[in-house]
Structure 1
């Protein structure tokens, strides 16, 4: 296992701990077909927003990467899969965690790994920033 593989594993474990916390603490709703829908917005608003100003001062570089150089969004236009830029008008906890959720989605569904990492330097930058932010904000879930 190389360093990028280890970083991806660390990211997935941290991200999963947030999802587990939401389920264990009732930050869920019923989705279509009785599926569990995680309530990220309520979690952010009630548990994480109050930490954001302090986090910005302490881990601002990682926050800036995830907001200003956020991961692209995969879309389909006229039956062609494309990558679309995502820009944010404000720097806040909701946009930060939206970006981190897109890092997760792109790794799982966006074809960033197909036997080897595609754009490994960019993946490393996004994963390292996400890991730092997720680790920092975990204190809000205690």
Structure 2
């Protein structure tokens, strides 16, 4: 979809998604869900550590289930061209892992660009649903992990 054809409400929703996604990553950093804790290392979020430390306490919410059901696709290298495919999960993947990976997929697809080849990108209603659902799922993750203060910026 060309920039000048994106509806204003969808542009605002994309901003809302990026805002809340980045606030959640900030909250994860503040809670020390980091790839490395060595002094001088880049402060990068460890989603795997977050999943590992919260897997037993996570309860799938309606927003989480809706995100799983929506099946956002991941861009892959296909045979001679880029393509989109459902996100695959290992057997035994937890609901938390599914929700986290799919929220990241929405973020990556929105942020990293080229969407030709996707059946969904030019469908504003599909994008509205994905963005709204992912925001709600991230809200739920913050609440269940006790990260609301940093996430909502209430200290």
User: TM-score, with normalisation over the residues of structure 2?
Assistant: 0.70
Q: Indicate the RMSD between aligned Cα atoms, in angstroms.
A: 2.6
Structure 2 CA distance for partners of 1:100 and 1:93, relative to 1, 3 Å: same
Q: Give the number of equivalent residue pairs.
A: 130
Q: Is structure 2 residue 21 aligned with structure 1 residue 12?
A: no
Question: Displacement of 1:49 after TM fit?
Answer: 4.9
The structural deviation recorded for 1:129 is 0.4
> Equivalent of 1:39, from 43, 46, 49?
46
Deviation of 1:64 after TM superposition, in Å, equals: 2.6
- 2:139 aligned residue: 135
The correspondence of residues 53-132 of structure 1 with structure 2, limited to 5 A, is 53=60, 56=61, 60=62, 62-88=63-89, 92-112=95-115, 118-132=122-136
Ranges of 4+ aligned residues in structure 1 off by more than 3 Å: 34-37, 87-91
Deviation sequence 1:55-87 (CA, Å, 0-9, x none): x2xxx1x32331122111101123311111235
- Gaps spanning 5+ residues in structure 2: where? 1-6, 149-155
Relative to its length, the structure with more helix (as a share) is: 1
Name the CA distance, whole Å, in 2 between partners of 1:83 and 1:12.
22
**C-alpha separation in 1, matches of 2:22 and 2:56:** 20
Larger Rg: 2
Task: Report the structure, 1 or 2, having the larger strand content.
Answer: 1
